[in-house]
Amino acid sequence: TPLPGPKGHLFSGNTHQIPKKEPWRTYSEWSRKYGPVFQFRTFGRNFIVLNSVQAVTELLEKRSSIYSDRPMSWMLFDLVGRGKSVFNISSLHPWHRRYRKLLHSGLNTSFIREHWPLLQEEASKLTQRLIEDSSNLEANIRLNAAAVIMRSTYGYTVSNLKDDFITAAEETSQITGKALAPGRWLVDSFPLLRFVPSWFPGADFKRQALEWKTRFDFLSSVPYTWVKNQIANGKFNNSFTSRLLVREDDSYPTAEEEEIINWCAGALYAGAADTTVSALLSFVMLMTLHPAIQSRAQAELDLVLGKGRQPSYTDLDSLPYLGAVFKEVLRFAPVGPLALPHRVIRNDEYLGFHIPKNSTIIPNVWAILHDEKTYPDPFTFDPERFLATGESHPKRPVQMDPRAFAFGFGARSCPGSQFAEKWMLINMASILANCTISPFSDLGRMVNPRDIEFTTGITSHIHVFECNVSKR
């Protein structure tokens, strides 16, 4: 049986019905009408949206070996030459496994411990900047992301957002966005167009692709060449990249190994920058709106830290309430409401429905994290959902851990999740131990938690409103 879904035109399918704003909400409504797994179609492409815990677990996790490919973008992967990036590489490509292994071991607990002093130092700098000027909330948080990532990936120190390495990394993500813009490139619907010669009238897309490819080749070589030079000069800082390049037996990586290391290192900024900024912005905004929750997290910190001590690695396990706040931020304001799309590589069947080979699979993480059966009263921000000894609902069972969904699925799940979590927790601990965040009271304006808005994109950001950050 074919999967249910909204009726579309014979040729263009449902192209005209795809929502431009917060599509996860529309998909969630459609799932009430068509069921938790439904499909829709655009020119030559089939999309399947998974809206339930059961569906993502069964298909993306248990059948990960066939559900972990990425949908093809001829413009970005082929013409612009980004098909081998960690995010885009086909799960059938032999490097996919090598990337995953390298990223997992490269971002493991010992990496996190090694970079703990950096995380702690940047957390206190961020806290200080927020106290001095809370009007630049987003820029201050961005600087924290850039500083941590560039230092831990390449051993490179960033002190402002105008830094060359940051502008290079940001240009990379802007080009990626333009090359992936849905419906923008005809070649994505008619792949044969890629063989049109670039001088041919109307082949502007090929000239554009070549320009971007040249730019990418340059941009991706900048930080990598820098680390290699530092190592050659014998004065490098320990980093993700240096750990892979400098070997105990003094051997040199092969050209192929170097290419793999460069793709993996390049993925860290792309994976970390926007996601951690989104999570931390949501945290600050949600603390502004929920003073009682904020004070409870501060009371927990005060108890563990005593007077004057700053939070450290070993404290994190003694801060269950702060841990619950982190989980609730991920649930209430998912960083990637639709994670990233996957592709199924062969025909399959689910609950008697036919899943056609090559369909793009969209996990509706937002719908899962706002399903009232799993998370009663889903639009209320309430960290107690994740505590066994809730004060206000002592008998309520602990709710499902949102980290199982917020970081994606199967052989594509986020390799930086452990690092991200420790990094966010130390930032949150440092901010709350030293400051109190409150609404901009002069204006007497208070945003109703239900009116919070989010931007639409691969990562979604909370709409920022002004707040006060004052030293405690």
User: Residues forming the annotated binding site for heme?
Assistant: 414
Cross-strand partners of 342: 361
Q: Which is nearer to ligand HEM, 355 or 369 (CB)?
A: 369
> What are the start-end ranges of the E strands in 316-380?
342-343, 348-350, 353-355, 360-363
**Separate counts of helices (H) and strands (E) for the chain:** 16, 8
Nearest distance, CB of residue 260 and ligand HEM, angstroms: 13
Cross-strand partners of 69: 343
Q: Which is nearer to ligand HEM, 273 or 432 (CB)?
A: 273
Q: Which is nearer to ligand HEM, 215 or 403 (CB)?
A: 403
Q: Please, what's the b/e burial string for 52-90 (b: 16 or more CB within 10 A of its CB; e: otherwise)?
A: bbebbbbbbeebbebbbbbbbbbbbbbbbbbbbbbbbbb
Q: Which is nearer to ligand HEM, 297 or 365 (CB)?
A: 365
Is 330 within 8 Å of 406 (Cβ atoms)?
A: yes
Q: List % helix, strand, coil for the chain (3-state, nearest 5).
A: 55, 10, 35
For residue 222, give every residue at least 6 positions away whose Cβ sits within 8 Å of its Cβ, in sequence order, or none.
Answer: 164, 165, 168
Nearest distance, CB of residue 28 and ligand HEM, angstroms: 17
CA distance 265 to 86: 9
Q: Which residue has the tokens 């994606």?
A: 408
Nearest distance, CB of residue 200 and ligand HEM, angstroms: 34
Q: Which is nearer to ligand HEM, 68 or 288 (CB)?
A: 68
| Footprint of ligand HEM (CB under 6 A) | 86-87, 103, 107, 267-268, 271-272, 275-276, 279, 335-336, 339-340, 406-409, 412-416, 419-420
Task: Supply φ then ψ for residue 45, to 5 degrees.
Answer: -130, 140
- R_g of the chain, CA atoms, integer Å: 23
Nearest distance, CB of residue 468 and ligand HEM, angstroms: 25
Residue (of 375, 433, 364) closest to 399 by Cα position:
375
Binding site feature residues: 414
**Per-residue tokens: 472:** 């405690």
Nearest distance, CB of residue 374 and ligand HEM, angstroms: 18
Q: Which is nearer to ligand HEM, 208 or 430 (CB)?
A: 430
Q: Which is nearer to ligand HEM, 86 or 158 (CB)?
A: 86
State the amino acid at position 467 in one-letter form: C
Nearest distance, CB of residue 318 and ligand HEM, angstroms: 22
Nearest distance, CB of residue 276 and ligand HEM, angstroms: 5
**How far out from the chain centre does Cα 294 lie?**
25
